Structure 1
């Protein structure tokens, strides 16, 4: 398929989740998001509410980030507070240890707790690079059963790595068309992003959005 630079921009959550990020950097992120035409910004919950002029840019944040090892109640409380502070979307990290133990039902329960805590759009980060194919499928099914809107590959913080075309394809085969598929972690050029779109990605988490978008060809065909 073909995707243009502008169409890709509309799929991007322009992200700043560094532990040493400052409010000045968040303000710069907002300004850059507006310039680039990205769908949203994604920032840490401590940066909310956003006081800069957003225009059409949405606000996303995270909960249970980055380990996913918070209790379901804490994740739900984070999501609830973030929504009250203006977040349109919440990206939650699952407890992958539960998944490794074969307790997909417990993963579903924690996702449902966050779903009930926020009326906004909910994305579920499954840390796909750390999972087997069967575990990826189980995580996607748990997210769907719990009422999530998206499944997301990665935090970008896990030692196992970030997004892969294979993981995106598997996630799309499992829940695509019913849930969105967000690719995040290690996507640094336009060609890789376009390949992820071909695989089924419908949203991206990028910290280097400008560099990715600047790599588009004049034709925008990949």
Structure 2
């Protein structure tokens, strides 16, 4: 199976997180973009400040590589106004996919009206500009019951507010890859979590992010029904190699 068009090649570390200077981290981003172009991946997923750079490199290479970026990353706690502002800037800069971190803490605290509002506003902005929107639910921060409930809630909000032809452009996504778990438990996509998401988010598509570390893992996710996979080791996975990368 050629899995490259399922893979969102991902680099989301800041310079400080990577232990690099800003210039060195910028070089890592450039390398990731170049690799995604050469390998023919679906998308390069980068932080908002690198979208303009990616756009320039992709245009220069006459590539069809898509650009994705994260909104309110990684905690999802910002106001709706801040989320909207960040999304609009990403659109202006040339992003194709907007991966919002939903306010999962608000959800856990029962603030459902707030969550509904940000999902409607964020999705409206993306769809109005023909962008793909993904809502990151951070499965490692949720119980199984909460994964089921939040996946279903996002689905129901989208179905209630948008047209059927829009559903394929609104994903539910598993993880940021940056959530800190206790006792070194998985912080990304697991098979049980993805199954719960698929069963409860449908007809919205699902993106598995974090924890996919081999070609076999990726194929299993695809066979389950996942439409996109986020990984910082896209080349290794596509080439059938295992990786120890955490995302």
The reply to whether TM is greater than 0.5 is yes
The whole-number CA distance in structure 1 between the counterparts of 2:190 and 2:42 is 22
Could you tell me whether the CA contact under 8 Å between 1:104 and 1:138 is conserved in 2?
Answer: no
Instruction: Please report the RMSD computed on the Cα atoms of aligned residues, expressed in angstroms.
Output: 1.7
Matched positions, count: 210
The whole-number CA distance in structure 2 between the counterparts of 1:27 and 1:53 is 11
- Of 208, 211, 221, 2:233 maps to 208
Q: Is 1:182 the counterpart of 2:193 in the alignment?
A: no
- Of 95, 111, 115, 1:87 maps to 95
**Which position in structure 2 is the counterpart of 1:111?**
119
Q: Match of 1:18, SS?
A: coil
Q: Match of 2:207, SS?
A: strand
Q: Match of 1:122, SS?
A: strand
- Unaligned segments of structure 2, at least 5 residues: 16-21, 163-168, 182-186, 242-247
Could you tell me whether the CA contact under 8 Å between 1:98 and 1:106 is conserved in 2?
Answer: yes
Q: Deviations over 1:139-174 (max 9, x none)?
A: 223322145710000000002311111111111111
Q: Is 1:164 the counterpart of 2:172 in the alignment?
A: no
- Of 7, 11, 22, 2:6 maps to 11
| Cα shift at 1:122 | 0.4
Could you tell me whether the CA contact under 8 Å between 2:123 and 2:170 is conserved in 1?
Answer: no
Q: Is 1:154 the counterpart of 2:175 in the alignment?
A: yes
Greater share of helix residues, 1 or 2?
A: 2
Q: Is 1:71 the counterpart of 2:79 in the alignment?
A: yes
| Cα shift at 1:109 | 1.2
- Structure with more contact order per residue of length (Cα contacts < 8 Å, sep ≥ 6): 1
The whole-number CA distance in structure 2 between the counterparts of 1:133 and 1:109 is 24
